[in-house]
Amino acid sequence: MTQRYFVYLSYDGTAYHGWQVQPNGISVQQVLEQKLTTLLRPTDAAGIQVTGAGRTDAGVHARLMVAHFDTDTPIDCPQTTYRLNRMLPRDIAISKIEPVAANLHARFSATSRTYHYYIHTQRNPFLRHYSYEMPYKLDFGKMNEAAQLLLKVADFGAFCKAHADVKTTLCHVTEARWTAVEGDDEGRYCFIITANRFLRNMVRAVVGTLVDVGRGRISVEEFGHIIASGSRSNAGESMPGNALFLWDIRYGNAER
């Protein structure tokens, strides 16, 4: 009898071409599938197939990613977690594996995802891999005013990668705000955004356009016009992926 399992993991995306299997580079999904196939030795020649809750881009990190796989062989979840961690590279960590109902889907059953984007305003060599060094003075009050407009719209085509293969650009954003990193005296800030779904490159494009607001290059009103236009060419540049983290995923009322 086939059993579905959820895998909860985190990873440093620096060395990977994103989550999803790519023809021209190593991905987190590829590594996880290879190690699970080696460990569980499925009878299916295709090996263990893993489905993730999202598709982080190249260089993007995950504090929490949830994925599922199916297998005909019952497994000892704590032991499998331990053995899998021994096999995986040090930049990927499994926190737990648990059996779930067959109709639960890591991607489609998720009700929300949260991303964090980090910037720092003082040069710091220890932050360079996980935060963007901002050379300009920013007006975070204006940036937060503009960010609130994201909660009032549904179509985010202006922040979707051009020619992306998506059926709809509709998303429901429930949180979007800039906040100073608590207890940090190095001028670090974090953009927190939560939605039911995200488009490819959406968060980095939103951040880049909000930075334009903070620099005074566009007004809050113009930010609203950019959203309404639905055109990616009107929005700001995408920010680098190394400062972006998939932070949280929720299923129903449960926090994962």
Identify whether residues 188 and 78 lie together within a single domain. Answer: no
Nearest to 3 by CA among 53, 69, 80: 69
- 138: domain CATH number is 3.30.70.660
Q: Residue 148 pLDDT more than 70?
A: yes
Pick the catalytic residue from 12, 57, 91, 155.
57
Q: Is the pLDDT of residue 186 over 50?
A: yes
Contact 199/130 with Cβ under 8 angstroms? Answer: no
Measured from the Cβ of residue 242, the count of other Cβ atoms closer than 10 Å reads 19
32-46, 70-84, 159-173, range with the lowest pLDDT: 159-173
Average pLDDT over every residue of 172-180? 97
**Percent of the chain residues past pLDDT 70, beyond the cut:** 96
205 with 247, same domain: the answer is yes
The tokens describing 25, both together, are: 């580079």
Structural domain range at position 89? 3-100
Residue 206 pLDDT > 80, yes or no? yes
> Would you say residue 67 lies in a domain?
yes
Q: What is the pLDDT of residue 256?
A: 42
Please report whether residue 256 resides in a domain.
Answer: no
The pLDDT assigned to 163 comes to 66
- pLDDT in the model for residue 1: 85
Determine phi and psi for 87, rounding to 5 degrees: -90, -30
Is residue 57 part of the annotated active site? The answer reads yes
pLDDT 10s digits, 217-242: 999 999 999 999 999 999 999 999 99
How many separate domains does the chain show?
Answer: 2
Q: In the beta sheet, which residues pair with residue 67?
A: 7, 52
pLDDT of residue 9 exceeding 50, the answer is yes
The mean per-residue pLDDT over the stretch 155-172 comes to 88
- Residue 106 forms part of a structural domain: no
pLDDT for residue 184: 65
Q: Are residues 153 and 214 both part of a single domain?
A: yes
Residue 80 lies in a domain: yes
Statement to judge: residues 86 and 144 lie in one domain = no
Asked if residue 255 has pLDDT above 50, the reply is: no
81 and 122 in one domain?
no
